[in-house]
Structure 1
Amino acid sequence: MKTEFKVRFSNLLGTVYGRGNLVFTPDGNSLLSPVGNRVSVFNLTKNTSYTLPFAHRKNIIHLHLTPDGNLLLTIDEDGRAILSVFSRRIAIYHFTFKSPVTSLAFSPNGQYFVVGLGRKIQAWKTPSTPSGDGNGELEFAPFVLHREYGGHFDEVRHLSWSGDSRFFLSASKDLTARIWSLDPEEGFEPTVLSGHRQQVRGVWFSADQEAIFTVSEDGAVFRWEFVPRQIDEDDASTEPFDERWRIVQKDFFMQNAKLKCACFHPSTGLLTACFDSGLFSLYELPSFSNIHSLSMASSPISAVATNTTGEWLAFGSLKTGQLLVWEHASESNILKQSSHLDALTTLTFSPDSTRIITGADDGLIKIWEVSSGFHIATFTEHSSAVTASAYSKRGNVLFTSSLDGSVRAWDMLRYRNFRTFTAPTRLSFSCLAVDPSAEVVCAGSHDSFDIHLWSVQTGALLDQLSGHEGPISTLAFTPDGRYLVSGSWDHTIRVWSVFDRSQTSETLQLTSDLLSVAVRPDSAQIAASTLDGQLTFWNLNTSIQDSVLDGRRDVSGGRTLTSRRTAASAPGTKSFNSITYSADGSCLLAAGNSKYICLYSVATLTLVKKFTVSINLSLDGTQEFLNSAAIMSNGLPRDMIDTEGEASDLEDRIDHSLPGVKRGRDATARTIRPAVRVTGVEFAPTGRSFCAASTEGLLIYSLDNTGMDDFDPFDLDLDVTPQNIRAILKQNEPDYLMALVMAFRLNDKALIRKVYESIPYASVPLLVRELPRVYLGRLLMLLGQQMENSPHLEFTLRWVGEVLSVHGRYIKERPGDFASELRAVLRGVDSMGKTVRSLSERNALEIEFLCQNVPTKATPLAIMSGENQDLMNDDAIDADNDEGDWIGLG
């Protein structure tokens, strides 16, 4: 495996929604969801997802896109903002607002955005960004304050703009909404819309800007119009012309639940209201007719968004971590994803590295597809926490163990549980191992010191291996299937010959409690992690200890919220709970209850790299030093006060139950922050990536270059510019080789694709032969991406065939240098094959249907004339056939 410093964060799985608002891209094809301190993007048309590479220091609560979809603004809990170019996934500017931001909205023309800062509102100019052709310029000062507005008496909870970007509306907790003008308007004064009895959750203009709709927490919908007041003829003090915004219609949802969020689509007049009971309803305004009323889940809906056309609605739930995209016209789900309800406990790669299995404390088992980032199946049969999982060597069977006292075998072709293994007595299994032939499965428990073995075919208990004097903590079969390695808290490792008649075991003595064991892929070495932070390596053939590595200083880091010590001396973070070998056995990956993942070289016993799992300060254990400013007068940290919680309002967080009374309380209510930790790590069988189960989700780190998604130029000089490349393509006889090489050196994705598509079909063989081999890897990566995204199938296949025929021997002699590129080409070929196969099957069914419904006497010539009639006469109809007329399906 490569041990250079090229392994980087690739994607985040296992978590689909954290908290904050949801945003659709302007084309409506993708959905942006905040996941902790990162942003995940779900492509709804291609069924893929990815995570933006930058991260905030705390959880993201607001994000918004400019109307052109070029700029993305994300803001965390402390008011720190990151401005990024969404198309290139690059953060270009960091900015800090003076107070936490409560709302955010870009103007329809994209020139301004407004933010709510407590009771105040600020309007900022949107920075200009480079245009798609690369000729634009970026402003030096991206954030320029335009105006500041004040008048609300409580937090501003919602902001929205008028269609002409001249006015905007604000909704506040002070039970009012207000109308503001971006710039001073003649005859206009800021207007207060009062009349609601609870806080206003949303306020919007109608499509013609003649009406305003406000929605409050108690389920009241008011329609406001600019109309004159009814004048009393006897009241002489009333002015004859008194026009102002007045309530012209009042409607109510009539739900026994509080309104949590709402969104309004002006062009279609659809209002979507979401309640804390998990119910959402669609209404058509101004008639207030109910179109749909459905339930997403039993938990409150935290965020709702609609795409540009108003066809798709996106819902997010904080409590259950669910994300749903629903099409109301067809009443069907476009996307339905959910996270684990509790912390991840185990993970397993499939043998072909295409899927990852995760288990959690909620008892759920989820199957995640690595390429798309979506989970495709969920198993719910376990009634308690899942503790371990293992794939069979062929990849058709999955085994899981749980604290409910069962070990289950799952058919991964039909997605069902076909075998359940239990012990004679009630035990909670904590570890699991499967032999390579998938004929025997064994499990260990903290409640018993014996190892239980079952037959996979019959489900019968074969044996109970006794010998350990403490709870069993880890189990592993050697890849060759000869031995079973078990570790216990009795400071010993036992190597069992389970398939021999004697079933003898050999004991390896350690100095502390054993936490995890890993066997090298060649079955020649064992690595053991103990509670004292040491990694011990044993020769499996001679049972002699090879070496010892002290990793306490490497893994230790991050002080807890209540810790009065430094991060280096914090207890409980100085050991590795999970270790695994790389595919070639040259490296060892280790992680524990800290924010670090350590990668060691087995040959030299040196730390190759240390990965930081999270920098999110919203999690406990990410800070290194004590901040005295966060300590209150009583000596306790200020962060221990739960100011957020599951409820957003202070009155909802107050516990009114009597002391000592448990009935009616939520036993799962969290009062402290979750701690960052890594519960499992595993290398992919291909050796090109590894994944880690952490507090924030399933993190994937990869050696594979993601291609030209990032701007990463190399070997540049003054002549390598986009203008020169375009000038070469416009020449009478363009030098396509020079243009392609210059585009590779500049590494501009759009420019490379433009040059690639400009090359004539007949020039491909000559260009491939003349291409310098230093650009061969980039060309293969380009071809892999084109096969997945481009409709020019024959053109791309011509490129691939020429590259493999000319440079195939060179690539074969250097498989390690082109591994990621070849995998990209293979993915493209598979994707293309699936597309062609499905298209062929559909065409075959259509042809079969048409052939079965051929009329007895074809008379289409009577309604055809000219060239089409001649074409049918020549190619489609055989007039000399005595059995009847034939209609061609050309």
Structure 2
Amino acid sequence: MNFKFSNLLGAPYRGGNLLISGNELLTPVGNRVSQINLTESTSSTLPFENAKNVRTICVSPDGRLLLTIDEDGRALVINRRRRALLHHFTFKGTVRAASFSPDGNYVAAAVGRLVQVWRRPGFEKNYGYKPPTLAGHKDTPIAVHFTSRRLQESAGLLSKEAPALYTLSRDGALHAWTYYKKEIEEDEDEGKDDKEDANEEKSFRDEASKAARQSQSLTFSGGNWKLTDKYYFNQRGAKLSAAAFQGNLGILAVGFSNGLFELLQLPDNTTIHTLSVGREKITSLTFSPSGDWVALGSAALGQLLVWEWRSESYVLKQQGHYYDVSAVSFSPDGSYLVTGADDAKVKVWTLMNGFCFVTFADHTAPVTAVAFAPSGHAVLSASLDGTVRAYDLVRYRNFRTMTTPTPVQFSSLSIDPGGEIVVAGSSDSFQIFVWSLKTGRLLDVLAAHEGPVIALSFAPNASLLASGSWDKTVRTWDVFSGKGGVEELRHSHDVLALAWRPDGRQLASSTLDGQIYLWDPIEAELQATIHGRRDIAGGRLRSDRRTAENTSSGRAFTSLAYSADGAYLLAGGSSKYVCMYDVNERVMLRRFQITYNKSLDGVLDQLNSKNMTDAGPLDQINDENSDLEEEANVLMDQNGAKSKNTGVLPGIAGNSAPKARTRGVALSPTGRSWAAATTEGVLLYSLDEGMVFDPTDLAEDVTPAAVLRALGSGAYLRALLVALRLRDPELIRHVLFATPPESVELVVATLPAVMAPGLLGTLAEALPTTPHVEHVLSWVKSLCSRHGMAMQNRAGEAAPALRALHKALAGLQEDLGSTVEANLYSLQYLCTVAGATEQGGEEIVKKDGAGKKGVVLVKAEEEEEEEEEAVAEVVVAPKEGSKKQAASGNKRKQIK
């Protein structure tokens, strides 16, 4: 039951600035921040939420601190490596741009038309610091960048002032700011001569000229800021929309509303390139640390691009679902996820890395249902365009398209457990169509419902098909025998969702009044009812005239899913909650809130009464002071649909927000995770820690001496973690063999799961050459028993180590197998002798199988102090008349 948020999939880019830190691209996704690794092709989302949509993010030069700022200026300070929230505060205004200084001690933020410089949190206390404010722009600043030492040196060669800060506003004005330290007070001693005064003035000028070049040791307090240079960017018919600065190369990239962007060399402001990537507005720009890549974001397209500007080629092109995700389903093995959305696209995701590896765009209308084939090699989707399509996940193509004689709109889909029959329900003709997946031929049409067929589901181990409709009935059908309807289960309200228990002995249905009914499908009897109307109620819409406690109309479960063992039932619907119920006790075990984003409608339980007027809520009136172009930007209605309000006056266009809701839920076949198709994307919750903090990533005392000290003090876990951080194979082996056998289980139990594949690979390398086979196998056994599930979920990372381990074990078995089989009886005899050696050494004479006598000399030896070892020397008497047998008979074997 301890499910935790693990990732967010399918969320489109809606705005905010982009950042590249190391090999990771940071992008705002709603009120969260996602991380895309450009080299390993993985995507993850930080488990922290701002109060509203994130507009501005900035990261420290060392990549540890992340500052996220939402639309209202509320900020979160996050430690990225530890995934810990350190602090939250507010700028008391809208922040459109922010940037860390090169040394990471200061943060410059564009608040309104002003620029503030803040000190970052640290271990030293600072009193009386007041953030300086820079004023000079006539429009809103959209970019703030500190300069680098290299750029300051180049400015000195050109006999120019060395700027410490660049700011760029929406009207295309680029301002260069120079910082001067506090002037030295003149000595009041009147006895100084003119020569001494001249020396003081010269020293002051030298100090002022070097101030900006010493940015690594600057303390931006007590000094003076001066506007030294101004530049202007002009683009006919377009406005400046984004900017990025590369400090090492001194290159500035500016983007415009017509899709063009320019690369300029600073500080002389010469144009390098003028390029275009499309016709839509460029919302954000950022450089990679090396300056070779440029990341671009377009909110109008919901797309992210990473572009290599020298070769003019794409490095990454990622796009989520532009509209709401309407359906979600897991693959049979739980490693993939398929989603369908209102943008008429079907996407397949890899859960291990969070990446979409294929997108099918064959539908021409919103997708209403998706499903995996039982084999896991095909995906099916139903759409309002009147087609059911089957996609091959091996060749990535649409290999089957199923249609009807007359055009209809499909609202539900299901496939039988054998993978041969596909059924789809229509929302206009109220019929159920049956096709053969192999041939694509229409086999039958089931007509009995009097309303839209909103849900279809095959029984897991039977030939029954259950269908739910808005006509307040659930019907079961025997599709394979052709007998038509079997039973009719009547409800008091419209049926919205269906789900079979994995054993096929129970059928769950949800209705419009918020109730969940549990049926016996064989006897057609009602077993129990779950009253979930109050459980799902919560959140007040801006248009509601009643409080959240009294408003329960329309709150119902629209999607159901059983757990793998059938003990729990997951339900989601038109609310900000997803509920989990105990089926036997019929009680709610836990309620998950899918989002805390106040930018969505229906998240708050209490609204501000001052925003309520006779004309309606002020939140629904667009009274922002924007130009016509900003008014024409894409807005979202309550259903998540896109609309363009062009040619309207400011204050007249509606300002409706998307409604927080869940359109589909799915539980993984493994039972370790579940997914919810929500307004913000597909939320993944898991019992396992997906991306956990790596405690081996230490910054201090990571030396071989530290490993030896930890071993000497008995801190075996710390010694192993530091050795893994150093990645020294010999040092890791030393720690493994120095750990006592009785401590192996404890060390493995406290070892982070993310380190298990790497340690398993080291053990696989050591196994073929080490004489301590039993000790190594004890490590392997403990790792597999403790972290086997984690390695199974991260099969891609653990596969190389598991293959190497399998190869090493196979070689070891082959080497020992022949030796053990040839000496099986000798080993049994020696084991018997071992019992006699405990009572003292003695001489044993025994006849062999041929009746000859063999002399066995057994002697016990005691070694020093703590260790005792019994050595048995076996001498087999040779047979007469054979020198070869006599030579081979003089074999000696020591057994410890």
TM more than 0.5: yes
| Aligned mates of 1:627, 1:439 — CA distance in 2 | 56
Q: Secondary structure at the match of 1:366?
A: strand
1:80 matched to 2:80? The reply is no
- Is 2:664 the partner of 1:683? no
Q: 2:50 aligns with which of 43, 50, 56?
A: 56
Alignment partner for residue 317 of structure 1, among 280, 298, 302?
Answer: 298
Distance 2:737 2:147 in 1: 57
Deviations 1:35-81 (A, max 9, x none): 11111111111111211111101011111111222211111111111
Cα pair 2:744 2:782 within 8 Å, conserved: no
| Preserved contact between residue 780 and residue 821 of structure 1 (Cα < 8 Å) | no
Shift of 1:181: 4.3
Tell me how far 1:500 sits from its aligned partner. 1.5
> What letter matches 1:602 in structure 2?
V
Where does residue 758 of structure 2 map in the other structure? 786
Residues 785 and 824 of structure 1 are in contact (CA less than 8 Å); yes or no, is this contact kept in structure 2?
no
Q: CA-to-partner distance for each residue in 1:280-335, whole Å, 9 max, x for gaps? A: 4545565845546242x442110000012110110111122111111223333221
Contact 1:787–1:796, Cα closer than 8 Å, also in 2: no
Matched with 1:705 is 689
Q: What amino acid is the match of 1:794?
A: E
Q: 1:75 to 1:803 in 2, by over 3 A?
A: farther
Change in Cα spacing, 1:683 to 1:15, as seen in structure 2 (3 Å) is same
- Which amino acid is 1:413 matched to? V
Q: State the alpha-carbon separation in 1 of the partners of residues 751 and 647 from structure 2.
A: 61
Q: Give the counterpart of 2:799 among 823, 830, 837.
A: 830
**C-alpha separation between the residues in 1 aligned to 2:782 and 2:148?**
60
When residues 159 and 734 of structure 1 are mapped into structure 2, their CA distance, relative to the original with a 3 A threshold, is closer
Question: Are the structure 2 counterparts of residues 466 and 143 from structure 1 closer, same or farther at C-alpha, using a change threshold of 3 Å?
Answer: farther
1:600 and 2:581 correspond: yes
Match of 1:240 in 2: none
Q: Does 1:67 align with 2:82?
A: no
Q: What is the deviation of 1:448?
A: 1.5
Q: Are 2:148 and 2:248, in contact at CA under 8 Å, matched by a contact in 1?
A: no
**Could you say if the C-alpha distance between residues 112 and 300 of structure 1 is closer, same or farther in structure 2, counting changes exceeding 3 Å?**
same
The structure-2 alpha-carbon separation of the partners of 1:808 and 1:118, relative to structure 1 and needing over 3 Å to count, comes to closer
- CA spacing shift, 1:431–1:376, aligned 2, 3 Å: same
Instruction: Please say if residues 329 and 372 of structure 2, whose CA atoms lie closer than 8 Å, have aligned partners that are also in contact.
Output: yes
Residue 37 (structure 1) aligned with residue 31 (structure 2): yes
Pick which of 568-577 and 382-391 moved more.
568-577
Three-state SS of the structure 2 residue aligned to 1:701 is strand
Cross-structure match for 1:18: 14
Q: What residue is the counterpart of 2:403 in the other structure? A: 422
Distance 2:693 2:454 in 1: 43
Residue of structure 1 in register with 2:715 after alignment? 739
The 2-side partners of 1:735 and 1:754 are apart by 18
Structure 2 CA distance for partners of 1:711 and 1:679, relative to 1, 3 Å: farther
Q: CA deviation at 1:140?
A: 6.7
Query: Could you give the per-residue CA deviations for residues 172-193 of structure 1, whole angstroms, max 9, x where no partner exists?
Result: 4577554444455559xxxxxx
8 A contact 1:385–1:403 mirrored in 2: yes
User: Highest CA radius of gyration, 1 or 2?
Assistant: 2
2:133 to 148, 154, 161: 148
Taking every aligned residue pair, what percent have the same amino acid on both sides? 37
**Equivalent pair of 2:716/2:747 in contact (CA under 8 Å):** no
Say whether 1:162 aligns with 2:147. yes
1:482 aligns with 2:463: yes
Compared with structure 1, are the counterparts of its residues 365 and 572 closer, same or farther at alpha carbon in structure 2 (3 Å cutoff)? farther
Query: Is the contact between residue 729 and residue 739 of structure 1 (CA under 8 Å) also seen in structure 2?
Result: no
Could you say what secondary structure the match of 1:567 adopts? coil
Question: Which one-letter code corresponds to 1:12 in the other structure?
Answer: L
**CA-atom RMSD in angstroms:** 3.9
Q: Does 1:8 align with 2:22?
A: no
The answer to whether residue 518 in structure 2 is matched with residue 518 in structure 1 is no
Q: CA deviation at 1:642?
A: 2.8
- Within the candidate set 74, 94, 103, 1:100 is matched to 94
Map 1:707-722 onto structure 2 (within 5 A): 708-709=692-693
Structure 1 residues 157 and 691, CA gap change in structure 2 (3 angstroms): same
The residue matched to 1:93 in structure 2 has which SS?
Answer: strand
Q: Give the whole-Å Cα distance in 1 for the aligned partners of 2:7 and 2:670.
A: 17
CA distance in 1, matches of 2:773, 2:322: 48
- Helix, strand or coil: the match of 1:734? helix
2:272 and 2:133 map into 1 onto residues whose CA distance is 39
What is the match of residue 717 of structure 1?
A: none
Q: How far did residue 392 of structure 1 move?
A: 0.8
Greater Cα shift, 758-767 or 592-601: 758-767
Correspondence for 1:293 among 275, 279, 296 = 275
Q: Which residue of 1 aligns with 2:790?
A: 821
TM-score calculated relative to the size of structure 1: 0.75
- Residue 148 (structure 1) shift: 3.1
Give the aligned partner of residue 223 of structure 2.
Answer: none
In the alignment, the residues of structure 1 paired with residue 128 and residue 115 of structure 2 have an alpha-carbon distance, to the nearest angstrom, of 15
Partners of 2:367 and 2:383 within 8 A in 1: yes
Q: Report deviation, 1:795.
A: 5.0
The SS at the match of 2:792 is: helix
Instruction: Tell me which residue corresponds to 1:692.
Output: 676
- Point out the more displaced range, 381-390 or 161-170: 161-170
In 1, are the aligned partners of 2:175 and 2:227 still within 8 Å (CA)?
no
Is residue 123–residue 148 contact of structure 1 (8 Å, CA) maintained in 2? yes
3-state SS of 1:81 partner: strand
Distance in 2 of aligned mates of 1:756 and 1:55 = 39
Partners in 2 of 1:663 and 1:315 — Cα distance? 25
1:91 matched to 2:76: no
Q: Are the equivalent residues in 2 in contact too, given 1:784–1:827 (CA < 8 A)? A: no
- Matches of 2:336 and 2:767 in 1, distance apart? 28
The structural deviation recorded for 1:785 is: 4.4
Deviation by residue 1:837-864 (Cα, 9 ceiling, x = unmatched): 9xxxxxxxxxxxxxxxxxxxxxxxxxxx
Is residue 388 from structure 1 mapped to residue 381 from structure 2 by the alignment?
no
User: Secondary structure of the residue that 1:410 maps to in structure 2?
Assistant: strand
Partner of 2:658: 674
Query: SS in structure 2 opposite 1:508?
Result: strand
652, 665, 668: which one pairs with 2:629?
652
Does the CA contact (< 8 Å) of 2:763 and 2:776 recur in 1?
no
Give the AA of the match of 1:734.
L
What is the match of residue 354 of structure 2? 373
Q: Residues 420 and 787 of structure 1: is their aligned pair in 2 closer, same or farther, counting only changes over 3 Å?
A: farther
- Where does 1:427-466 land on structure 2 (aligned, <5 Å)? 427-466=408-447
CA 726–315 in structure 1, closer or farther in 2 if over 3 Å, else same: same
Name the residue aligned to 1:859.
Answer: none
CA shift digits 1:145-166 (9 cap, x unpaired):
3323445454333322233597
Residue matched to 2:835: none
CA contact under 8 A between 2:665 and 2:677: conserved in structure 1? yes
Say if 1:71 and 1:803 are closer, same or farther in 2 by CA, change over 3 A: farther
2:473 corresponds in structure 1 to 492
Shift of 1:244: 10
Deviation at 1:512, TM superposition (A): 1.1
CA contact (8 A) 1:305 1:314 kept: yes
1:118 — aligned with what? 112
Q: Output the CA distance in 2 between the equivalents of 1:403 and 1:464.
A: 18
- The match for 1:336 is 317
Deviation at 1:663, TM superposition (A): 11
Give yes or no for contact 1:366–1:377 (8 Å, CA) kept in 2.
Answer: yes
Could you tell me whether the CA contact under 8 Å between 1:728 and 1:739 is conserved in 2?
no
1:831 is displaced (CA, Å) by 4.6
**Could you state the TM-score of these two structures normalised by the residue count of structure 2?**
0.75
CA contact (8 A) 2:707 2:722 kept: no
Corresponding residue SS for 2:527: strand
Distance 1:362 1:309 in 2: 36
Contact 2:497–2:558 (CA<8 Å) still a contact in 1?
Answer: yes
Q: Relative to structure 1, is the Cα distance of residues 637 and 348 closer, same or farther in structure 2, using a 3 angstrom cutoff?
A: same
**1:590 equivalenced with 2:571 (yes/no):** yes
1:539, CA displacement in angstroms? 1.8
The amino acid of 2:756's aligned partner reads G
Matches of 2:127 and 2:360 in 1, distance apart? 48
Deviation at 1:505, TM superposition (A): 1.6
